[in-house]
Amino acid sequence: MSQIVTRFAPSPTGHLHIGGARTAIFSWAYARKNGGKFVLRVEDTDQTRSDASMTQGILDSMTWLGLDYDGEAVYQSQRFDAHNAAVDKLLETGHAYYCTCSPDEVEAMREKARAEGRKPKYDGCCREKGLGPCEGAVVRLKAPLVGTTVFEDLVKGHIAVDNAELDDMILRRSDGTPTYNLAVVVDDHDMGITHVIRGDDHVNNTPKQVLIYQALGWDVPKFAHVPMILGPDKKKLSKRHGATSVMEYQKDGYLPEALVNYLVRLGWSYGDQEIFTKDELFEVFDIANLGSSPSVLSPEKLNWLNQHYIKESSVERLVGLLPEFLEEAGASAIDTDLLAKLIPELQARAITLKDMADKALFFFVDDFPVDEKPTKKLLKQDHDVIDERLRDLAEIFEEIDDFTKEPLEGAFHRYMDKHSLKFKDLGAPVRLSLSGQGGGIGLFEMMELLGKDKVVARLRGWKATLVK
């Protein structure tokens, strides 16, 4: 077989949606697995709904996900000449004709068909009139009236449509612009696409496109229509389900390889393997293992994968990524040396980078958020007793020159024993006053990383932090 060429063909009318990203990943992985090419075509023909910033957003999302495409991106809006040449060829060969029926007249034909219980469609009024180009005329495909149009979908199997069901579709509008189905066929053909992998919201367009290929005498590519992604409630994915665009996931602190791994497993499987590096994917991905039923979004699984990839990430990488999230949470002038020391402590616990930043924030700002539940519990105790203990500890810690884990732990335990306290009786108020959190990294590591000044000041200022 000739070299496999797949494509991603987004319309820049919105952000890159996770459904689109998933079909892009399938196309990309399939091309890479087969030593083929993965190309990008921006379908920006609807100038009223497309916009350059959206195109840039899609390109940025693809870069972030690591979906590298071959060659330059192709812009559909720059290919009108090729589209028109194909329409002209169809006119010359008798596979297309001019039609002067107005939209109202076509609507009336549809209405009539509906009233008579037939499928509403254009009735072929101008099919045999032999009209030439004129003001207001569209060009329609002279579609076969009998027989069936078939294709073998690589996901859905054999698909056959009665040609009597299909309209003589418009190929060129009266303003001279090509229609979607015509443009897609011409572009896919000219770009040498061998496998069209796309969402199954396009499956009804495919028989129409097959007719155009046949009329032009071109080879028909293979098609794989991928089922939808549904929300956890099994309803069509929408804003209601939370993040739907790739950029939102980035903002929420997901790592690109976690999102790619997650999306590729939505509707595709390879035994029971869950974790795939890019290289593994390029070794084993196959369209044959795409499922034919809709996939249900599982935020828990994405979180699990993200946690895995955070654990796998180098400290260096996370030091580069976290400041943006810390700043978003309210920190400024971030000490990256401190961050590098904190990261190994947080890696085991954080689900997202945002979560990691929230857990680390108290190292960088003094006015940090406070966990309500453990604070409420603590404040039920006598405030004077808490005050006395924390002030005592502040005094003891102030005298420690080697402000590291062991001496701090030793001093803490001696104080605890002297006053017959349990670890949690003393640990809870200390932790809450230092971090606002009921749990987290080891208490003495935390103190060492915070440093003496902050520890002493926060122990003394516990009321201002916790009693609100």
Catalytic residues: 239
CB of 135 to ligand GLU, least distance (A): 30
Choose between 16 and 390: whose C-beta lies nearer to ligand GLU.
Answer: 16
225: left (phi over 0), alpha (psi -120 to 50) or beta: beta
CA 113 to chain centre: 43
Between 130 and 169, how does the x/- string for binding to ligand GLU read (CB under 6 A)? ----------------------------------------
Q: Which residues partner with 139 through β-bridges? A: 98, 172
**How far apart are alpha carbons 351 and 249 in whole angstroms?**
13
Choose between 11 and 34: whose C-beta lies nearer to ligand GLU.
Answer: 11
Radius of gyration (Cα) for the chain, nearest Å?
A: 31
Choose between 40 and 450: whose C-beta lies nearer to ligand GLU.
Answer: 40
Hey, which residues between 162 and 201 contact ligand GLU (CB under 6 A)?
Answer: 184, 198
Choose between 10 and 429: whose C-beta lies nearer to ligand GLU.
Answer: 10
Choose between 18 and 310: whose C-beta lies nearer to ligand GLU.
Answer: 18
CB of 180 to ligand GLU, least distance (A): 8
Closest alpha carbon to 434 in 404, 460, 396, 407: 460
CB of 11 to ligand GLU, least distance (A): 4
**DSSP letters for 385-442:** HHHHHHHHHHHHHHT-SS-SHHHHHHHHHHHHHHTT--HHHHHHHHHHHHHS-SS-S-
Hey, which residues between 277 and 336 contact ligand GLU (CB under 6 A)?
Answer: none
Closest alpha carbon to 311 in 357, 275, 263, 349: 349
Given 4, 5, 9, 326, the residue binding ligand GLU (CB under 6 A): 9
CB of 187 to ligand GLU, least distance (A): 9
- Phi/psi of residue 264, each to 5°? -70, -30
CB of 274 to ligand GLU, least distance (A): 28
Q: Which two tokens stand for residue 245?
A: 């665009």
Count of CB atoms within 10 A of residue 442's CB? 12
CB of 82 to ligand GLU, least distance (A): 16
**DSSP letters for 5-47:** EEEE---SSSPPBHHHHHHHHHHHHHHHHTT-EEEEEE----T
Region near ligand GLU per CB under 6 A, out of 8-16, 256-264, 308-316, 355-363: 8-16
Region near ligand GLU per CB under 6 A, out of 7-15, 50-58, 118-126, 412-420: 7-15
Q: Give the helix, strand, coil percentages of the chain, each rounded to 5.
A: 50, 10, 35
Region near ligand GLU per CB under 6 A, out of 6-14, 48-56, 100-108, 341-349: 6-14
Given 4, 5, 6, 10, the residue binding ligand GLU (CB under 6 A): 10
Given 4, 5, 6, 11, the residue binding ligand GLU (CB under 6 A): 11
Region near ligand GLU per CB under 6 A, out of 9-17, 45-53, 131-139, 338-346: 9-17
Closest alpha carbon to 169 in 145, 207, 147, 140: 140
Hey, which residues between 332 and 391 contact ligand GLU (CB under 6 A)?
Answer: none
**How far apart are alpha carbons 75 and 81 in whole angstroms?**
12
Q: Which two tokens stand for residue 203?
A: 């499956």
Choose between 152 and 201: whose C-beta lies nearer to ligand GLU.
Answer: 201
CB of 30 to ligand GLU, least distance (A): 14
Q: Which two tokens stand for residue 170?
A: 């418009």
Hey, which residues between 33 and 62 contact ligand GLU (CB under 6 A)?
Answer: 43
State whether the Cα torsion 185-191-192-193 is positive or negative. Answer: negative
Query: Does residue 202 belong to the site contacting ligand GLU (CB under 6 A)?
Result: yes
Total residues in contact with ligand GLU, by rule CB under 6 A: 7
CB of 63 to ligand GLU, least distance (A): 19
Interface positions with ligand GLU (CB under 6 A): 9-11, 43, 184, 198, 202
